[in-house]
Amino acid sequence: MMIVGTAAAIEVAIILVVVLVVLGARWWGGRGRGVFHKGQVHDLDVEPQYSGARIDGDVVTLDFVKKMMDDFKNQKCIHKRYAFQIVLQMRDMLRALPSLVDINVPHGNHFTVCGDVHGQFYDLLNIFELNGLPSDENPYLFNGDFVDRGSFSLEVILTLFAFKCMSPAAIYLARGNHESKSMNKIYGFEGEVKSKLSDTFVELFAEVFCCLPLAHVINEKVFVVHGGLFSVDGVKLSDIRAIDRFCEPPEEGLMCELLWSDPQPNPGRGPSKRGVGLSFGGDVTKRFLQENNLDLVVRSHEVKDEGYEIEHDGKLITVFSAPNYCDQMGNKGAFIRFEAPDLKPNIVTFSAVPHPDVKPMAYANNFLRMFS
């Protein structure tokens, strides 16, 4: 019996190995083109009764984006076909970018940097009301954490992606710590995407988030990153450019610290209050700027009562663009306008605007929702 049983077990094991190898080959074969590809978009029919925004062909126009934003404002969904088109175009566009993107603002022009939006779509619309829509003449950088916590995260990310598709120079997007699978699973974006679109989109967004650049430099003088600086001195811009970012954020190293670190008032470095990344003092900021011939660090990642905070002898600014964060913090939001060539930061603050009665974290993990 033992011999027969062992033989049967070996046979089953061999079958399992074969199955796993076949599935693995299919999985790896699919990675080259992603979880969804352009050829499948045209298989999605748009129902005759659909009255929402439509993309004519493959070109995302300003008229389409305006119509889509208006539909979103009235709590209407975009058709999956057009959502796929936007996200797939973004995937192709972001893949071609370096991990550190250089931005050139011509003499006499301006450039706006926004911090965390966190799914607060109606406050995003208010930013555009106050400061104009993104365009080549009115460009923006949104500095990560577009999604999670707020319950209109899908509307936020599709709007930002659509503007980028419309005009790549009109809007720049950086990865935040919330552009990751683990955070999206807990803090609401995954549940929201499943509810409003489909499970396939969860994987597609996760793939695209891994393509987002990690940092930007404006006119070789202003370094913009979601989180902060590093656990070691001597990090050069070339080191950031060399990061292989096409992955979920690691738990340590340069990429992790770019997404997770925070400034501290004391000099030196200390443990992070978040348990990931680190806290860094003004001396760390000063050395990084000097070694890279930069003037200023702009980062986001932390809610601030006034929507911003200037630290480290004026060499570091935190900007946060989600007012009354999670409908309970009472903070203002802010954005920063830089005018070339001097790039003096002009900080604009604003208050929260009303939104439909959908609570923050409405799509979040059930356990977390009990405490929200």
Beta bridge partners, 225, equal 215
What single letter denotes the amino acid at residue 331? N
> Is there a contact between 181 and 206 (Cβ–Cβ < 8 Å)?
yes
Structural tokens at position 199: 């499970």
Residue in 302, 292, 214 with CA at minimum distance from that of residue 250: 214
Which residues are known to be catalytic?
Answer: 178
Cross-strand partners of 141? 113, 172
Tokens matching residue 135: 């365009």
DSSP string, 194-255: HHHS-HHHHHHHHHHHTTS-SEEEETTTEEEESS---SSS---HHHHHT----SSPPSSSHH
Q: Are 215 and 240 in contact (CB under 8 A)?
A: yes
Strand partners of residue 346:
337
Complete edge-to-edge strand list for the sheet that includes strand 296-299: 100-103, 215-218, 222-225, 296-299, 316-319, 308-311
Question: For residue 19, what are the CA distances in angstroms to 10, 11, 14, 22?
Answer: 14, 12, 9, 5
d(CA 5, CA 9): 6
List Cβ neighbours of 171 (8 Å cut-off, separation of 6 or more): 134, 139, 140, 141, 142, 160, 163, 164
Structure token pair of residue 73: 């404002």
Cα(181)–Cα(372) distance, integer angstroms: 21
